[in-house]
Structure 1
Amino acid sequence: MKIPQFIRTNLLLKMTSLNAMVIVVRLFIGFFLQRELTDLVGKDGYAKVGSLRNLMNILMSITSLGVFNGVLKYVAQHKENRPELQKLFSTTFVFTIIGSVVSFLVLFFGAEYFSSYFFYTQDFAYIIKIVAVVVPFISIQRVFNGIVNGLSAYKHYAKIELLAYILGAALTLFLLYQYNIDGALLAIATIPIIQVLVLLFVFVKVLREYIVFSEISFKIPYGKQLLSFTLMSFTATVLVNFVELDLRNMLVDKMGEDDAGIWTAMTTLSQNYMVFSGAIFTLYVIPKFAGITQKNEFVKEVGTIYKTLLPLFALGMLAIYFLRYQFIEYVFIDFNEMAPLFKWQLIGDFIRLMALVLAHQFLAKKMVRNFIFTEILSLALFFGLSHLLVDTYGVEGVVLAHLLRYVIYFFVVLFLVWRYFDKKGKSSAAK
């Protein structure tokens, strides 16, 4: 089947259409997986699944010292300059060694403490130790993914994402059926190994073209450049997941593990459809914004992105909202308390998408202070509003806080991006 002409001539639409096919397959598999998880492990078990996923997300940043966006930026910038790439990869190698060793030691020898923190019992200390052993695969997968995105190899990215997700889902289902909650947690802990193997299988020839492994040295010529990305990643990934963990623990303390599981199910559904935008941001938005210097060019590009993505998201979100009871009946079994949460989560995520498009200017231009300020503001709003609203509205209060935070976040990001171009315009005029 031929791709329509208007898609073939528009890179964003080509990426979007290819990514959409991957996401549709992922959603079908994911919905079946969520159905089995919620049916077999229950609401309290699902809260534990959410906590482990938070830990894995934190480790994606810590084990590689948050170099993902830095690797993406500098690979895109220097993909024709092999000596510069070798300097970048040498620095990345040192960062991942440091991050992985520290993460292993902390997790392995603090397994009982982390089991109590993440799972409310020490019974899963062995899962934490397994995660500690898997740590090198987490860091390798993150760095290699940065290379794939930096090269804008969206076709390879789609293959890697789809194949790794299918194999990971199969492993999760097998271990879930065999060992229930223990099996589900074990699968999540070991999926990074599958992701690395799939990435190497699909992308190893291209990697060899850009990485000369024998020439990688224990030096950090890109240390200063990458450390700013480390700081941004810590704010965006580590703090975000710690706030989610704190809110889940708050719900457990105030309302019980079942209510924490309800909120976790809602955020999991959100992550399943928001993942659609993740690849677009890294493969298209950041590289595109990096090359834009004029306000009118930026406004035009944002308009193109909005016109392409927002209608698709709006239709998808409306479909999810009107089918919410079917989702609860067939996917999140017995999670009936989720129904009132849908409207606030969906509206919040739509505004979040609009804001994140603009906020990726901070990453593209390495605007560290603006990025960190807006991320901390967003997290502080979410944390504070959730604690304020939960006593009155219960679990719904946390989702309301999610919506309110992104309304404020959007206008703050818009102001800062506009100010950046105004200052740039004035400095150019002065010259």
Structure 2
Amino acid sequence: MTLIRTSLLNAIAVFIKMLTLLGINKILAVYVGPGGYAALGQFQNAVQMITTFASGAVNTGVTKYTAEFKDSLAEQHRVWRTAGTIALSGSLFFSILIMIFSDKLAIWFLKDVSFGGVFIWFGATLVLFTFNTLMLAILNGKKEVGRYVVANIAGSLFSLLVTALMSMSYGLYGALVSLAVYQSLSCFVTFFLCFKSPWFKFSYMVGRPDKKTAINLSKFTAMALSSALCVPISHILVRNHLGETFGWQSAGYWEAMWRLSSAYLMLVTTTLSVYYLPKLSELKSASEIKSEILQGYKIIFPVAVGCGLVMYALRDFIIHVLFTSDFLPMRDLFGWQMVGDVLKIASWILGYVLAARAYWKIFVFSEVFFAFLFYVLVLMFSSFNLEGATIAHAVTYALHFCFMFVVMKKKGIFV
């Protein structure tokens, strides 16, 4: 599976997901407004943190070792069984905690106890949510790109359908519930696709965990937990700062800008996870890794630059089509956000080497340090206007890229 072929296959799922996200953006803009966007961002960050803890944060490791042990089904099954048992026990435990403390979680993340029911829905479907992401990690590691694409398309369609129905019927409460449950509904499609594969049985995913495998997966647990904690927490802090400094409408503009960035960069970021992580896990020599990185810069980086330029040039049109006139103030955020997004892709191409090669100590340090740096820079640059938050984004990833380049040299990949 080549980078170009993977990108083309993945583009099908990404194109559909982008269309659904654009539709969802419009629905949310109409039915929840800028202030609702801020609440959705808070809840999404909560979901990211909780699901990572509940799954044992092993999905990246599952992808890596599934690809690495491509010639040994027994080793693959040992990985799946260990990861599945960890995910099942963790998600059941967290489901109970979420439902018990639903009101407290609603106050903490959403500042409103009336949203406690949203966390009840989330807790009730958490096991399905966790196993959906685990099976996607297995499909990715097996390089079953076709099935992986279909599973992601199903998830996109579920997200559009559920979000549209719930948002139009129940406003912000419905939008939050849809965010809590749609990936859980996708689990049934993903399971069916895996079940139809000759190499898959559900019994391979549950059983006595292997101690050595669990230790190997723990490196990825450390990396995933650092991401799951640092990134959402930094965003929650930034959102709270912007809301308290400029008002929650302004925090909603920043959240809308961030969600828009995630949507248009999806082709690039998903290609990195679908192609690069398994590929870099297979490669042994530094020269092979360097060659793969350079190929990424030749193909992926120009796409990121082109997308950023188009987004900036069409920013007024995009706001009018994808949002409403209430979101017009966010046009001032596009310039520096696009610069930061391009620098993010440049650094991520290098950053995936850390995950693929299990350089977990450096990875954890970088996640903690740059999440903290981003928040500090937001405090510094947003003293006078909201645009400072996007300047902080660009500066953070410029420094992150420099850091990653130095790490690659230290590891002998760049000589």
Please classify the TM superposition score into its range, dividing by the shorter chain length.
over 0.9
1:346 to 338, 345, 349: 338
2:157 corresponds to: 166
C-alpha separation between the residues in 1 aligned to 2:216 and 2:285?
24
Asked if the contact 2:230–2:367 (Cα under 8 Å) also holds between the matched residues in 1, the reply is: no
2:124 corresponds to: 133
1:359 aligns with 2:345: no
1:94 corresponds to: 85
SS in 2 for 1:411: helix
Residues 291 and 209 of structure 1: CA distance in aligned 2, closer, same or farther (over 3 Å): closer
Equivalent residue letter for 1:356: W
1:33 to 24, 33, 51: 24
C-alpha separation between the residues in 2 aligned to 1:296 and 1:223?
30
1:245 corresponds to: 236
Deviations along 1:110-135, one digit per CA (max 9) or x if unpaired, are: 11121112211111011111111111
Asked if the contact 1:164–1:195 (Cα under 8 Å) also holds between the matched residues in 2, the reply is: yes
1:316 aligns with 2:307: yes
Offset at residue 345 of structure 1 (A): 1.0
For normalisation by structure 1, the TM-score amounts to 0.91
Offset at residue 96 of structure 1 (A): 1.0
1:405 aligns with 2:411: no
Asked if the contact 1:55–1:241 (Cα under 8 Å) also holds between the matched residues in 2, the reply is: yes
C-alpha separation between the residues in 2 aligned to 1:30 and 1:405?
26
Deviations along 1:146-195, one digit per CA (max 9) or x if unpaired, are: 10110111121111111220122011101111111111111111112222
**Is the deviation greater in 194-203 or in 256-265?**
194-203
Asked if the contact 2:316–2:331 (Cα under 8 Å) also holds between the matched residues in 1, the reply is: yes
Counterparts of 1:187-266 in structure 2, within 5 Å, are 187-206=178-197, 209-211=199-201, 213=203, 216-221=206-211, 222-266=213-257
Asked if the contact 2:67–2:282 (Cα under 8 Å) also holds between the matched residues in 1, the reply is: no
SS in 2 for 1:210: coil
The alignment's C-alpha RMSD in Å is 1.9
1:329 corresponds to: 320
Residues 57 and 357 of structure 1: CA distance in aligned 2, closer, same or farther (over 3 Å): same
1:373 aligns with 2:368: no
Offset at residue 422 of structure 1 (A): 6.6
1:148 corresponds to: 139
Asked if the contact 1:266–1:338 (Cα under 8 Å) also holds between the matched residues in 2, the reply is: yes
Offset at residue 89 of structure 1 (A): 2.1
C-alpha separation between the residues in 1 aligned to 2:75 and 2:285?
28
1:44 aligns with 2:47: no
- Equivalenced residues, count: 413
2:175 corresponds to: 184
C-alpha separation between the residues in 2 aligned to 1:215 and 1:297?
33
**Is the deviation greater in 50-59 or in 215-224?**
215-224
C-alpha separation between the residues in 2 aligned to 1:316 and 1:13?
18
Residues 396 and 91 of structure 1: CA distance in aligned 2, closer, same or farther (over 3 Å): same
Asked if the contact 1:82–1:210 (Cα under 8 Å) also holds between the matched residues in 2, the reply is: no
Equivalent residue letter for 1:197: F
Task: Show structure 1 runs of 5+ residues with no match.
Answer: 1-9, 426-431
1:75 aligns with 2:66: yes
Equivalent residue letter for 1:38: A
Asked if the contact 2:84–2:205 (Cα under 8 Å) also holds between the matched residues in 1, the reply is: no
C-alpha separation between the residues in 2 aligned to 1:85 and 1:20?
28
Offset at residue 214 of structure 1 (A): 6.8
Offset at residue 288 of structure 1 (A): 2.2
C-alpha separation between the residues in 2 aligned to 1:259 and 1:17?
37
Offset at residue 273 of structure 1 (A): 1.9
Asked if the contact 1:358–1:417 (Cα under 8 Å) also holds between the matched residues in 2, the reply is: yes
C-alpha separation between the residues in 1 aligned to 2:205 and 2:219?
25
Asked if the contact 2:377–2:392 (Cα under 8 Å) also holds between the matched residues in 1, the reply is: yes
1:6 corresponds to: none
Residues 422 and 313 of structure 1: CA distance in aligned 2, closer, same or farther (over 3 Å): closer
C-alpha separation between the residues in 1 aligned to 2:272 and 2:391?
26
**Is the deviation greater in 62-71 or in 369-378?**
369-378
Deviations along 1:15-47, one digit per CA (max 9) or x if unpaired, are: 112222332232223212211211111111111
For normalisation by structure 2, the TM-score amounts to 0.95
Task: Show structure 2 runs of 5+ residues with no match.
Answer: none
C-alpha separation between the residues in 2 aligned to 1:39 and 1:12?
39
C-alpha separation between the residues in 1 aligned to 2:347 and 2:323?
29
Offset at residue 362 of structure 1 (A): 0.7
> Percent sequence identity over matched residues?
23
C-alpha separation between the residues in 1 aligned to 2:174 and 2:202?
39
